[in-house]
Amino acid sequence: MSHQPLGLYIHVPFCTVKCSYCDFNSYAGIDDMQAGWEQAALKELSLWAPRLSGREVSTIFIGGGTPSLLPGESIERLLNSIRSAMRLAPDAEITLEANPESVHPDRLAAYRDAGVNRISMGVQSLDSSELVFLDRIHSAGRAEEAFAEIRAAGFDNVNLDLIYGLPGQSLATWQSTLNQVLCWSGDGPDHISCYALTVEEGTPLAARVASGRVIEADPDHVAEIADWTADRLAAAGFEQYETSNYTRRGLKCRHNLIYWRNQEYAAIGPGAHGFIDGVRFHVVRSPKAYIDRLRDATASLEGEQGLPSPAIAGAERVGELENIVDTLTSGLRLMEGVDETSLPPAYQELRPVLDWAVKNALAQRQAGRLRLTKRGHEIANEIFVRLLAPTTP
Ligand code: SF4
């Protein structure tokens, strides 16, 4: 039996509007599929349960999409079904993603009663013109109010997502956003994720950039904002434990640590990605196809690679070297780095790249662990590209 933590990701595909920069598998205008999605998700959980028997689920992440659009009873039914069919750790971290406009005191109370103990809210910005640019439908005032409602409902582990490096964003505008959230309800959130805006292929934002209507921010300016952010959050008592993630009181996101440490997680819901027993897989993206595939599913209808859900649209066994590359490219994003001594012998094939990184002060070795330096974190993608093509150290 594996003693590593096991995560469970549940994907909720509903959103009120589609944001201009978003390439997640989320859709506006399909709320009439909520009941069908819930039935399918409950069925998929029941199909996974025998496969996960004997393993304890340490974390659940209900992500999206906008899970806070779901009624409390829906979350309660999902979590009850997990509790009755699987072994859920008594201290499991159970996160639900929320957006300010759909947060509501009654619903928050129901989520809490159902067992949710961590809320992650997408705020992104408190500047009204930036919110419009991103197609966010909440105001700064509503976001602050929603945070107060989350605290009032008794959540003492709350993350806020923010985005910096928007076209035309000044350092002062970003400073104003971050300084404000740090004072919300007295002493602000417990965890903050600060992501640099990336222009994802196929999004409305990418089309605007391609047509010249939007000019991307200058990388040096974005780096300046990132530096200020790290200093400001350190001064406010936050520990940076990953490239974009900061926490207080040691409240790291245990579910995301499973991803970064290349550990295992089951995944259900349209478009969800999982990694279990050495196999990476993804569930069919279309919510309609997801519901259809699970409607009449039985345990005898397996998905790819013998996985238990017929909604799985692709699955691949990860080779040994590929798995080591995954461990390095995700683990080196963490300040704790990677335990080199635990890597299998095939690691020697990649060692020249990491020796090169150490020689150029991009990484350092200490007590068997390999960590990126500040400069290494700044150009991490360059190191990762070399790991993917190890003949060019
Ligand atoms: S709310 Fe989140 S998931 Fe939904 S469209 Fe916007 S960024 Fe994407």
Q: Which long-range contacts (CB under 8 A, 24 or more apart) does 166-171 make?
A: 166/125, 166/130, 166/133, 166/134, 166/197, 166/217, 167/133, 167/214, 167/215, 167/216, 167/217, 168/215, 168/217, 169/127, 169/130, 169/217, 169/225, 171/221, 171/224, 171/225, 171/228
* Whether the CB of 22 sits within 6 Å of ligand 1: yes
d(CA 21, CA 161): 14
Let me know the angle formed at the C-alpha of 68 by 67 and 72, rounded to the nearest 5 degrees. 100
Q: What is the per-residue pLDDT for 391?
A: 53
Q: What is the per-residue pLDDT for 393?
A: 46
- Percent residues over pLDDT 90 in the chain: 93
Residue 249 CB neighbours (<10 A): 12
Q: What is the mean pLDDT of residues 198-220?
A: 94
Let me know the angle formed at the C-alpha of 369 by 368 and 373, rounded to the nearest 5 degrees. 135
pLDDT at residue 192 is higher than 50: yes
**Which residue CA neighbors atom 3 of ligand 1 most closely?**
65
Task: Choose which residue among 14, 24, 193, 205 to substitute to test ligand 1 binding: the one with the highest number of ligand atoms within 8 A of its C-beta.
Answer: 24
* Whether the CB of 66 sits within 6 Å of ligand 1: yes
CATH topology (fold) of 6-259: TIM Barrel (3.20.20)
**Residue 90 burial by Cβ neighbours in a 10 Å radius (0-12, 13-18, 19+):** exposed
Domains 6-259 and 320-388 share a fold: no
Q: What is the mean pLDDT of residues 25-35?
A: 97
pTM of the prediction? Answer: 0.95
306-361 per-position pLDDT tens digit: 899 999 999 999 999 999 999 999 999 999 999 999 999 999 999 999 999 999 99
β-bridge partners, 315: 281
**Residue 258 burial by Cβ neighbours in a 10 Å radius (0-12, 13-18, 19+):** buried
Q: Looking at domain 320-388, which of 2.40.128, 3.30.60, 3.30.9, 1.10.10 is its CATH number?
A: 1.10.10
- The Cβ-side half-sphere exposure at 179, using a 13 Å CA radius, reads 7
Task: Choose which residue among 11, 12, 25, 26 to substitute to test ligand 1 binding: the one with the highest number of ligand atoms within 8 A of its C-beta.
Answer: 26
Identify the helix (H) or strand (E) that includes residue 314: strand 312-317
**Average pLDDT score, the chain:** 95
141-179 per-position pLDDT tens digit: 999 999 999 999 999 999 999 999 999 999 999 999 999
Please tell me the distance between residue 13's alpha carbon and the centre of ligand 1 in angstroms: 9
Q: 300 falls in which pLDDT band (50, 70, 90)? A: low
Q: What is the mean pLDDT of residues 369-390?
A: 91
83-126 per-position pLDDT tens digit: 999 999 999 999 999 999 999 999 999 999 999 999 999 999 99
Q: What is the mean pLDDT of residues 258-265?
A: 98
Map out the domains of the chain as residue ranges: 6-259, 320-388
